[in-house]
Amino acid sequence: MNIEKTVIDNFCNLIKFDTTSNPHSSTYPSTNSQNEFAKIVAKKCEDIGLEDVKIDENGYVIATLKATTNKNVPKIGFIAHMDTSPDYNGKNINPNIIENYNGKDIILKNIVLSPSEFPSLNKYIGKKLITTDGTSLLGADDKAGMAEILTAFQYLKNNPQIEHGEIKLAFTPDEEVGNGVTYFNVKDFGCDYAYTIDGGGLGELNYENFNAVDATINIIGKNVHPGHATNIMINSAMIANELLSMLPDETPTNTKGYEGFYHLTDIKGNVEKTNLHFIIRAFDKEEFENKKQTITNIVNTLNKKYNNILELNLKDSYFNMYDILKDNMEIVEKAKNAIEKAGLNVSVKPIRGGTDGARLSFMNLPCPNIFTGGHNFHGPYEYICIDSMVKAVEVIINIAKDI
């Protein structure tokens, strides 16, 4: 079995299918295309020869590769998500394969993928890349993870002389809209721990992520004829602007590393009514609570000034997986060893976002995150290095056989 050819074929076949999730849907999964895709993926699992293949009532694809050893070893899971981001077009994806990247600008339809703008490209001179054609995202987040898991399982199935315990895969819907494991049955999955294959560049390993909360603020104004508005009109849009000016200058543009932020994702309004939506992020739990208190204090201050016309709703989304993994560092060390055995340097980075693994860790399934090899997710500048995909497959195999 040629791992490189297999992982490319798997990836290019998977991205043919539009599986964009929808944050405004009331169904689960949020789009029917994910249900249809799940059937295709389940058939692929059966073709590989995996057992106990099923799609549960919530659209999760689960499959098992039976143990080849009688040793009493932990059951390990590998998890990726089926949906692609609604941030950009996920239809009619046409992968552009570059056999030997020369380090220069890559000219695509309507855009240029340039190392001057995306310096990560400089790491891959002479390597094989897959880019978009410029009209869609690529879908490496996270169909690269799916392809790598499928390839690793196929390799292990074809090589039964390799000793490993029982390993399972799970492919989840709706990760991109924050509901990837909302209905995931950890007990039924039956693993002692798992790894999401949903990370970025070569050698990356993640076991820290943001604490996350959504904040929605509704402001109700009073609209009268502007010619007769003296001491009567209350302009909700102007009050929204006042609120924004009171926030700390801690935006995604101005922060990095372990720094948290306030991110205004959406604002709609007029004189009568304005709605603002924020995502608020912090690694440290105390900082996280302080940020929630800061926006609460701002709203309270404005309510005193304008007679209670603002309404704030805070909804926690996910928490820092390190709070769980700090007591399970042996599985992090196992991932580090697997990456090193693949001939790579381990690059431990905090996730400035979240993964299914963050929520799963708090559902009694400790779950660090491993690289896929992709870059620039969620847009037309997305690309992935084929050599990195091969190494991700090797890492999964190394983890499975580390018994």
Residue type (1 letter), 269: G
What is the dihedral angle through the alpha carbons of 192, 196, 201, 203, rounded to the nearest 10 degrees? 10
Residue 69 carries which DSSP code? -
Task: Tell me the three state secondary structure of residue 237.
Answer: helix
User: From CA 242, how far away is CA 313, in angstroms rounded?
Assistant: 19
Residues 6+ apart with CB under 8 A from 88: 136, 137, 378, 379, 380
| Start-end of H helices in 105-139 | none
**Residues 98, 129: contact at Cβ < 8 Å?**
yes
Task: Return left, alpha or beta for 308; rule: phi > 0 is left, psi -120 to 50 is alpha, else beta.
Answer: left
Catalytic-labelled residue, pool 18, 83, 141, 166: 83
Task: Tell me the three state secondary structure of residue 278.
Answer: strand
**Residues 79, 356: contact at Cβ < 8 Å?**
yes
The token duo for 363 is 């559902």
**Residues 98, 131: contact at Cβ < 8 Å?**
yes
Closest to 189 measured CA to CA, from 280, 289, 56: 56
Q: Where are the beta strands (DSSP E) in 59-187?
A: 61-65, 76-81, 96-98, 106-107, 112-113, 129-131, 167-172
Catalytic-labelled residue, pool 175, 176, 208, 394: 175
Which residues are bridge partners to 258 per DSSP? none
Active site residue 175: yes
Active-site positions read 83, 175
